Structure 1
Amino acid sequence: MSSKAPDPRLFAGDLFGEVYQAELVAQPQRVTMGVLLPGLVTCLIASLAAMWLAEHYGFPAILLGLLIGLALHFLSDHPALGAGLDFAARHFLRIGIVLLGLQVTLMQIGAIGWIPFAGLLAIMAAAFGAGMLGAKLSGQGRYAGILAGGATAICGASAALALYSVIGRDRLDQARFTITLVGVALASALALSTYPLIAETLGLDATAAGYLVGASIHDVAQAIGGGYAISDAAGAQATIIKLARVALLAPVVALVALWLGEAGASGESRKPMWRRISMPWFIIAFLALVLVNSFVSMPGCVAENGLAASKFLLLLAVTATAMRSRLSLLLEAGWRPLVPVITATLASFAMALFVATMLI
């Protein structure tokens, strides 16, 4: 089909122009670098500002990217910026999640031991359950609970972005999704500030303290940093536990996709299980990269640079998502979308503390 605009003379009887405008919208638009560049540059500048503020004032870059993006939401109304912002929010997110696979190996997961790993599964289940309960109590619906519980249970904003790609905008509007991202980022920052202090106050040894921090703090970098804030041994333990949570991103997304497929199917319309999963390609690529990283020896700089690239791409995606959010809808939503994040965070910490003190 040609992308040439329709001849206006063919719409002489269209007094108010609705038919002509509809024809214009229906025409496929060719996406080129020139179309994407204004939005990408705007997103890049906002993200670099967030990184500068994070470096100089000690706040999480993801949280600052969200706040700066929300402050600049009015820019997304400009027709020249929309395509680039949408591209950043969608594609940078996916590549960033794939690169997280460079941080995990199957051997790291196996080194945890079955009791700590079972405890980790219990902590994640508690976060999911509490998120669902909080969503029900606050009237947000089960999808908001899945999003908040999954983000808390796995790896914060990156898990929320991955789960939202499966849940979809038709089930959960972007305003509540953005508020969930803000809540998760705030909760992770508060956890980084308080959980290491709690571990030291309770007199936990390095293994238990590292387990507590690694199993309950949302963001990857903050969980690892929180462990090393206690001691090197606690940091090493927190790293292993946190990366085990990251490795479970793919199975959790697959289970959520399967559950959503079950919920949407009935009777003879049910498809085979493998067709109902509908795994996003980037989750499959993430899992493949984990397998490659497990059996192929890679230089340490690959994992280090991969983590840096992943964090930067996820920052770009989060900033672009916030810029595309409608602030009026966020204000209308109020505080209720934060309830699932709060309940999931509290349940995750309580269960992690129990496992760390009683089983580790």
Structure 2
Amino acid sequence: MTVQRPDPALYAGDLFGEYYQAERPTAVRRVSLRELVPGLLTCLIAALASLWLAEHYGFPAILLGLLIGLALNFLAQLGALEAGLDFAARHFLRLGIVLLGLQLTVMDVSGLGWMPFAGLVLIMGSAFAAGIVGARLSGQGRYAGALAGGATAICGASAALALYAVIGQDRLDQARFTITLVGVALASAFALSLYPVIAGALELTDAQAGYLVGASIHDVAQAIGGGYAISENAGEQATIIKLTRVALLAPVVALVAVWLGDASQSPGDASRTLRPIWRRLSLPWFILAFLATVAVSSVVAVPPDIAEGGLEASKFLLLLAVIATAMRSRLSLLIEAGWRPLVPVFSATFVSFLAALAAAILLID
């Protein structure tokens, strides 16, 4: 079995192609299954270790996967692992995002009501703006702010991975991307521990508490789990709110692509010309496949077992992608970047919580 690496020229004008070319401007070559196995097996072992630790010690599996991946960073220097790590970071990410579409239908979103939905859009916009402001205050660029704000506003690590495919390594180095992933995982774990307690202390109703948790916690599983930790009704509300945020992944990625412009040209280049807006609105295929999966789920009733299996498979594939990304990150660049890349994440998280709390109190009975 072989995997054909396509000619980068075939991706001219394609956003994911720009990311591909920025990351690997190398000649075309065929990668055999034998070359993939060492890297994939390493990711698998690390993922199983993360899941075991998460089950026994209660830490988020994504956060543990990041830490284990960083601890195994030295293995990425082995040429035998390169192809497998590259495959996991790239393709498992795409498949994981596509499978998220099994959890959502158009009816779920439309049943939310226009006032709560408008409030949710405002919350997400506030989180995104706070990420941009936090990036500027900490000396980071708008790309770091867009990544942190988008990941916080939508669905954590999976959104960060999707947005990074649009931003590209030529505009945001992988070290700062990895730190953002760490920050998002830490913030989500902190929110899961604290937000249900705050909801109880403020004596919010189940509907208000579910809205608060679903609208502000980053990770899908943690947002839903936080809702059910309060009550059954709060869990159902949190699930609808959180999956509505996931449904907005594709529009947000498209808007970010339009806002950032062409990855192949420097923002400071006065002579640059932007591509037509329809070109910049073109999305990576896995985002389109995500939308197609949502459409199918809306028309055809997906059996609960398949939907649940799809969610578990999505979480595992994203865990493998996160581990591979962490292993490929250069620790020297992580140390050099320091704490500043975390500022946009924490500022977006704080503003997201305040906006969600205000919306829950004002808009939800």
C-alpha separation in 1, matches of 2:325 and 2:274 = 34
Share of identical aligned residues, percent?
A: 73
State the secondary structure of the residue aligned to 1:336: coil
Q: What is the deviation of 1:358?
A: 1.4
State the secondary structure of the residue aligned to 1:171: coil
1:326 is the counterpart of 2:333: no
Contact 1:147 1:164 in 2 (8 A): yes
| TM-score, length basis structure 1 | 0.91
C-alpha separation in 1, matches of 2:160 and 2:302 = 29
Residue 127 of structure 2 corresponds to 127
Residue 157 of structure 1 corresponds to 157
1:304 is the counterpart of 2:308: yes
State the secondary structure of the residue aligned to 1:31: strand
C-alpha separation in 2, matches of 1:51 and 1:268 = 47
CA offset digits 1:260-292 (Å, max 9, x no partner):
227969889443321122311000000111011
Q: What is the deviation of 1:145?
A: 0.3
Residue 9 of structure 1 corresponds to none
Which consecutive unaligned segments of at least 5 residues does structure 1 have?
Answer: 1-24
The 3 A distance-change label for structure 1 pair 50 and 268 is closer
TM-align CA RMSD: 1.6
Contact 1:73 1:322 in 2 (8 A): yes
Residue 98 of structure 1 corresponds to 98
1:74-113 matched pairs, under 5 angstroms: 74-113=74-113
Amino acid at match of 1:110: S
C-alpha separation in 1, matches of 2:58 and 2:252 = 31
Amino acid at match of 1:69: G
Residue 21 of structure 2 corresponds to none
The 3 A distance-change label for structure 1 pair 65 and 26 is closer
Q: What is the deviation of 1:212?
A: 0.2
1:194-213 matched pairs, under 5 angstroms: 194-213=194-213
> Which residue of 260, 275, 278 corresponds with 1:274?
278
Contact 1:258 1:278 in 2 (8 A): no
C-alpha separation in 1, matches of 2:257 and 2:128 = 15
C-alpha separation in 2, matches of 1:112 and 1:66 = 34
The 3 A distance-change label for structure 1 pair 27 and 235 is closer
Residue 287 of structure 2 corresponds to 283
Contact 2:47 2:320 in 1 (8 A): yes
C-alpha separation in 1, matches of 2:95 and 2:142 = 28
C-alpha separation in 1, matches of 2:254 and 2:26 = 34
C-alpha separation in 1, matches of 2:126 and 2:217 = 14
> Which one is further off, 39-48 or 256-265?
256-265
Contact 1:261 1:276 in 2 (8 A): yes
C-alpha separation in 1, matches of 2:347 and 2:237 = 26
Amino acid at match of 1:273: I
Amino acid at match of 1:151: A
1:58-73 matched pairs, under 5 angstroms: 58-73=58-73
The 3 A distance-change label for structure 1 pair 329 and 293 is same
1:184 is the counterpart of 2:188: no
Residue 352 of structure 1 corresponds to 356
Residue 241 of structure 1 corresponds to 241
Aligned length: 336
Residue 299 of structure 2 corresponds to 295
> Which one is further off, 329-338 or 255-264?
255-264
Q: What is the deviation of 1:28?
A: 4.2
| TM-score, length basis structure 2 | 0.90
> Which one is further off, 33-42 or 269-278?
269-278
1:148 is the counterpart of 2:148: yes
Residue 221 of structure 1 corresponds to 221
**Larger of the two Rg values belongs to structure:** 1
Q: What is the deviation of 1:29?
A: 3.2
C-alpha separation in 2, matches of 1:114 and 1:26 = 49
C-alpha separation in 2, matches of 1:119 and 1:127 = 12
Contact 2:102 2:302 in 1 (8 A): no
Contact 2:158 2:318 in 1 (8 A): yes
Contact 1:178 1:322 in 2 (8 A): yes
Amino acid at match of 2:81: L
C-alpha separation in 1, matches of 2:281 and 2:129 = 21
Residue 52 of structure 1 corresponds to 52
The 3 A distance-change label for structure 1 pair 28 and 282 is closer
C-alpha separation in 2, matches of 1:229 and 1:191 = 13
Amino acid at match of 1:91: H
Contact 1:261 1:277 in 2 (8 A): no
C-alpha separation in 1, matches of 2:302 and 2:172 = 40
Residue 5 of structure 1 corresponds to none
Amino acid at match of 2:214: G
Which consecutive unaligned segments of at least 5 residues does structure 2 have?
Answer: 1-24
C-alpha separation in 2, matches of 1:69 and 1:120 = 34
Q: What is the deviation of 1:26?
A: 6.7
C-alpha separation in 2, matches of 1:354 and 1:330 = 36
Amino acid at match of 1:79: G
CA offset digits 1:90-122 (Å, max 9, x no partner):
000000000000011100001110000000000
Q: What is the deviation of 1:30?
A: 2.1
The 3 A distance-change label for structure 1 pair 298 and 203 is same
Q: What is the deviation of 1:302?
A: 1.3
The 3 A distance-change label for structure 1 pair 267 and 288 is farther
State the secondary structure of the residue aligned to 2:38: helix
